[in-house]
Structure 1
């Protein structure tokens, strides 16, 4: 069990970020054990043929299907929206002794594999090789799909930042994950190892991650305390085609079929490009319909860097029957057709 004890200043320092590097490293675990991450099977089927001959064996030796991932591969994001290049530079700057120690580390009662011990014997060369492999892997397996993943993560940050402002820590942690509990100033995470400590003014970094689904991941001091969790709406990530909603017919009769589709699709925040992909409508047409929905007070737009994410307002949620849509999206185990770049 992990227990983070919050002081009042720690609550004020709850902050959000997401990390291309974290997504990439976690996706390696999905490839190693697709059966444990069924949500991502469409992505696995698409990506696996592209990885032949890439020589990922050293990465696969370090990022096993379960257990400890060396912390030097997943440094806490230093900014809310880090660039992959900057994150890889942090990895490359890891001291050799840290690389060696983390490669040799094993859970109690087990021993590191001979291949990892061999890598630990030459940490500088190992680090450079692993960083180069991550860069190649990103170009083939992650970069073509990053815009849709980024939109999902952006949307979750948008929602939870609003909950933090409106309800405080309880609003953020209350529905974060089944393994996470907030009670009387202590954040408890159900994990198979033990840690209890005060945050001591450092706060906590919350990192939504599509590929950590269906679990959570925790980082404790001496690193920046961090909790990585699946974003809301992760079940929609690889879906394509128009949304299927039981109330679609009645809603379409009220506001029009296209606008009803868009309002239903906004069960999770999305950009114009993502909505166009998911509903099969041109981006220009989506923008026009969103303009009408905004004028009616059913959706609002929020700028995230260079992009604008759209989210349903309370009135839009009520009209679309949001609670039932959200429950269906959270419980849906499968996914749609395989994604394209």
Structure 2
């Protein structure tokens, strides 16, 4: 059992973010542990054949060691809500070389290490530079083609949790996060066989949804940049499905009209006005009209992400869509 000292007062420290490097790290689990991460089969079949020719020897050696340990410095706890990959790579590249070497070798402790790992002992600066370059290349091959869909699922989860916390209580940020997690108001309990007990020690708690986390939850308990929980966002399995035609239920269409019901059905995940228009074959003006009507009825709400306003169903909208 993993136990994290976490009181009601600590709710004020909770924040949500989406980290490209957490997706990179968890994607290696999905890549090399197919029986547990079976839901990524279609992604794996597209990505795996490209890797042997991509010059990723150092990256793969570091992330797939025999001890099933990925160095902590590869996933710095983000400061902002939406860090860019280059920002996180800059943090990784600035990691003290002694820490880099120690964590890389820990992944291979007790096993013969390949040359790519031994380099971190003899020439850690160059080895780290090569690792950063190869992470960038891996992201281009394995993550970037799916990034818009990953981001959409994660943004949906973040917006939904934030809105639920505002409509109910801040406890909603933590409750229901994962089936293995329970909170008694003083301690977070995570039902894994590994025993671990720690507190926030003055750090905030970052909740990091990761589309590649699969069925698992992961903890970051000792990073200089903070404490974190990685968890699978709601609906992460839809990232790998082919988009299906939007078809509202007959009952919902009878209440709202077919077009407006289609918009509400679509907004199970966040979409901008332009995206709603494109998916449903509407003019931008028509899409905007229906979004405004649904917003005024309290069924959807807008959340600005960068320069773009994206709409998502509210709790009331969820109830109506799911009840119909």
- TM-score bracket, normalised by the shorter chain, equals 0.7 to 0.9
Q: How far apart, CA to CA, are the structure 2 residues paired with 1:8 and 1:255?
A: 40
Q: How far apart, CA to CA, are the structure 2 residues paired with 1:131 and 1:273?
A: 36
Q: How far apart, CA to CA, are the structure 1 residues paired with 2:283 and 2:58?
A: 42
Deviation >6 Å, runs of 4+: none
1:334: which partner in 2? none
Q: Deviations over 1:195-233 (max 9, x none)?
A: 212323323111111111210111102541110101112
Q: Deviations over 1:102-122 (max 9, x none)?
A: 112259xx7244226524423
Matched, 1:30 2:33: no
Query: Closer, same or farther in 2 for the Cα pair 1:173/1:198, shift >3 Å?
Result: same
Q: How far apart, CA to CA, are the structure 2 residues paired with 1:26 and 1:283?
A: 39
Q: Would you say the 8 A contact 2:300–2:311 is kept in 1?
A: yes
Query: Closer, same or farther in 2 for the Cα pair 1:8/1:299, shift >3 Å?
Result: closer
1:39: which partner in 2? 39
Q: Deviations over 1:117-157 (max 9, x none)?
A: 52442322221111100111222222232122112212211
1:193: which partner in 2? 194
Q: How far apart, CA to CA, are the structure 2 residues paired with 1:90 and 1:84?
A: 10
Where does structure 2 lack aligned partners over 5 or more consecutive residues? Answer: none
Q: Deviations over 1:140-187 (max 9, x none)?
A: 222232122112212211222233344445312221001211113111
Q: Would you say the 8 A contact 1:106–1:112 is kept in 2?
A: no
Q: How far apart, CA to CA, are the structure 2 residues paired with 1:119 and 1:157?
A: 40
Q: How far apart, CA to CA, are the structure 1 residues paired with 2:162 and 2:257?
A: 32
Q: Would you say the 8 A contact 2:77–2:223 is kept in 1?
A: no
2:218: which partner in 1? 217
Q: Would you say the 8 A contact 2:25–2:74 is kept in 1?
A: yes
2:106: which partner in 1? 105
Q: How far apart, CA to CA, are the structure 2 residues paired with 1:139 and 1:283?
A: 34
1:91-240 paired onto structure 2 within 5 Å: 91-106=92-107, 111-115=110-114, 117-122=117-122, 123-223=124-224, 224-239=226-241, 240=243
Q: Would you say the 8 A contact 1:92–1:127 is kept in 2?
A: yes
- Shifted more, 187-196 versus 116-125: the winner is 116-125
Matched, 1:265 2:266: yes
RMSD after superposition: 2.7
Q: Would you say the 8 A contact 2:6–2:185 is kept in 1?
A: no
- Give the C-alpha shift of residue 59 in structure 1: 1.9
Q: How far apart, CA to CA, are the structure 1 residues paired with 2:207 and 2:222?
A: 15
TM-score, normalised to structure 2, is 0.86
1:313: which partner in 2? 314
Matched, 1:2 2:25: no
1:251: which partner in 2? 252
2:304: which partner in 1? 303
Query: Closer, same or farther in 2 for the Cα pair 1:252/1:49, shift >3 Å?
Result: farther
Matched, 1:241 2:240: no
Q: How far apart, CA to CA, are the structure 1 residues paired with 2:37 and 2:320?
A: 33
